[in-house]
Amino acid sequence: MLDRLTIKLIKAPLDNAAIALNARGVTANKTTLFGFAIGCLALPALACQQYGLALVFILINRICDGLDGALARIQGISDSGGFLDISLDFLFYSLIPFGFVIADPQSNAIAGSLLIFSFVGTGTSFLAFAVMAGKQGIENPVYKHKSLYYMSGLTEGTETILCFVALCLLPQHFAIIATLFATACWFTTATRIYSGFHTLRDNEH
């Protein structure tokens, strides 16, 4: 929901950083892999209840996620790069609630499992529609520089980052925050399935 706004706000600084990185031979795929590796460090940090450190790793991961796209627009958007980016993104998203479950399984297991379950819904509805839209040649009218059809919803990348920030700043309220965000994710999934089905069916006709 907020991605359209945040993309406009961060585009210029990301593009400037990407120009500098490109001049130094940094590729989009290397940035994706580096960001994922840094993001994975959030898991042991969360498990050890080092929430501030985990937040640093999360934010670096998300910055790299923006930089790899900016680099790809300079170096050329590729299907392989888009596949790598989206695959590692969804793995990273699930890694964060799992880290909170490890940190306090007694208090966080149910809410953490619910949040991961909701990510399965948002992820599969997002990717399944992207595959079918690509097969039918449906172009994205809003996000024209994405390697996949970017299907919007109530919970997108920006909302997920804000959720992770809130969880790290207020870990004692993990169950409440995770449950609320999972509920919003299921609303996103439901609307994506509904609108995606009708969009594909109308295009078939």
CA–CA gap between residue 91 and residue 117 (Å, rounded)? 13
- In the prediction, which pLDDT does 144 show? 46
- List, in order of start, the domains of the chain with CATH numbers: 3-204 (1.20.120.1760)
Q: How far is CA 69 from CA 11, 77, 78, in A?
A: 10, 8, 10
Q: What is the mean pLDDT of the chain?
A: 90
- In the prediction, which pLDDT does 117 show? 97
Question: Which residues have C-beta within 8 Å of that of residue 80, sequence separation ≥ 6?
Answer: 29
The pTM of this model reads 0.87
Q: How many C-alpha atoms does 123 have within 13 Å on its Cβ side?
A: 17
Q: Which of 100, 90, 91 is nearest to 46 (CA)?
A: 100
Mean pLDDT (whole number) for 195-205: 86
102 or 8, greater pLDDT: 102
